[in-house]
Chain A
């Protein structure tokens, strides 16, 4: 049976709401907001009473309906008398309506559109300010490191170094070889038109060494190491481990952030050199194996095309990327709030902000090189 409702206006200034049928979660019942609208449209109602003598079965569905109805009516200053409800429903309603009293204390107001916009802007500014603050802390910590006033755990540093470097080699090899192969194929289709296929060696060599090696390795490291920095520090924040360091008078930046930045800044250029080699190898495999180019000639072209300045530009890229990834990862981790969701968010935003910053940095470096004629 369907739950139904009758509104009885027979008594003066009093509305009797008569419920009938089955009021179950699984059955069909009237919508509370429609009934509230109907009641509040009628003038001269000072009190609401209920009659549930014709209700067959009921569960939370009826209580929820009544809960909203009562709240809606009380909001419009209509007195509600729910003494004629089944005793179980009465108890539930008393409990539900009571809890509500305290919960609304001190809730922040949403405010107008402009307040919200201003709030968002101020929050963004706060975020920028804390990043500047963080960079300042890093600078101070590095100066203390140089003057030997930082407690540095070498064994832990070695572990981080291994995680940033050696452990990433396999992935870097795979990606770089494939990028070399892709570059070679793209070059081949175009250069074939002029019969200048041997210049694939130049494209692959310069492309990998100047930017692609550093970029591919860094995007990989942002996803791998940057994310792990953020998750690690975020979880330490959640477990109060960072608070424990602070109360000991140890700066978490010196103790946790500096070794990570240092490790990545050392490893990124090395990984980039390795990625360059692997990329060139990929190009070599395609050119000599599939496109039938002479292998000696290929090596000679590669050698002559890669100048020292190309190598330096690539290494500068990798150094900058290393700093970006490590700072983004550590910053998001240190800023992490204390919940599992927050750790996830910190990890995501570490990767996203690192990759965006990497692309922006590449654009800037490329432009500067162009202007300088390097």
Chain B
């Protein structure tokens, strides 16, 4: 948000591949602390692959991802896990553990990485569920609630440990406009209340303009990023026809 803010994530000369197929080449961008950063591009351009290498699930074929100046993929497994502990991830389908209740889903990270007592954990869980508007749903199983609620519950789990960075993989996918808007509001509130840095992978224009401070545009044909900047400024100033076409839904 602020010009003077320090970059918390830096991506340098990153190459990504899916199996043997190159997906993206030469990605370079940085995300400032406290920003909401959007990764945008058409479906299948490699947004989710980029996300996977940012959250430590898929090693890039070349290049570096730096968190607070530390090169993630050059670290040993234990250091990587320590860095990953500072992440919260909201997966596309929620990815709640289906054999756990919502309360147990949110509680697990706390049980693993906090020294809180059982009672205290229960309180934190109730707070996190309340933050996403699911107060009182702690005893429900993921299969018993709607898709939108599942996403919010997954968000409660993602913010269980007050993460430094929260990643969202297509938060509006499969949601109606109202639920999607609610989730956007939640993203803004989380940034303001938790002070977290937020990375959102999305192709929903409404969300991109509503929440994005900065955005990177990935292009399928050139297999690389085209531009970085604020979505509104990109719309107003970008000279690249692909970016303009994307941001105006092809209606020039």
Contact = CB atoms under 8 A, between A and B. Distances in A.
Interface in B70-105: 81-82, 84-85, 87, 89, 91-93, 95-99
Contact of B112 (A156, A246, A250): A250
Given A151-B112, A248-B109, A239 B57 contact: no
A249 B98 contact: no
A8 interface: no
Contacts of A106: 21
B130 interface: no
A108 interface: yes
A240 B56 CA distance: 14
Contacts of A250: 112
Interface string A96-115: 00000000001010000000
Contacts of B89: 243-244, 247
B20 interface: yes
Interface in A236-269: 236, 239-241, 243-250
B111 interface: yes
B108 interface: yes
Contacts of B87: 247
Greatest chain B CB density within 10 A among A106, A235, A244, A245 is at A244
Given A247-B87, A249-B81, A249-B112, 12 more contacts: A106-B21, A151-B112, A236-B97, A239-B95, A239-B98, A240-B95, A241-B96, A243-B57, A243-B95, A248-B84, A248-B109, A249-B82
Nearest to B154: A244
Contacts of A247: 55-57, 84, 87, 89
A236 B109 CA distance: 18
A250 B95 CA distance: 15
Contact of B99 (A156, A245, A248): A156
A244 B57 contact: no
29 contacts: A108-B20, A108-B21, A156-B99, A235-B98, A239-B93, A239-B95, A240-B91, A240-B92, A241-B97, A241-B98, A243-B57, A243-B89, A243-B91, A244-B96, A244-B97, A245-B97, A247-B56, A247-B84, A247-B87, A248-B84, A248-B85, A248-B108, A248-B109, A248-B112, A249-B81, A249-B82, A249-B85, A249-B112, A249-B113
Interface residues of A, number: 17
Contacts of A240: 91-93, 95
B85 A241 contact: no
Given A240-B92, A246-B57, A247-B57, A151 B85 contact: no
Contacts of B95: 239-241, 243-244
Contacts of B111: 151
A157 to B, nearest CB: 12
A248 B114 CA distance: 13
Contacts of A245: 97
A145 to B, nearest CB: 15
B91 A244 contact: yes
A244 B155 CA distance: 12
B154 to A, nearest CB: 8
B17 to A, nearest CB: 11
A282 B157 CA distance: 53
A228 B108 CA distance: 24
Contacts of A108: 20-21
A236 B56 contact: no
Contacts of A239: 93, 95, 98
A151 B92 CA distance: 27
Contact of A236 (B81, B85, B98): B98
B36 to A, nearest CB: 20
Contacts of A235: 98
A143 to B, nearest CB: 15
B41 to A, nearest CB: 15
A156 B97 CA distance: 13
B218 to A, nearest CB: 16
A229 to B, nearest CB: 13
Interface in A309-351: none
Contacts of A248: 84-85, 108-109, 112
Contacts of B85: 248-249
Interface string A66-109: 00000000000000000000000000000000000000001010
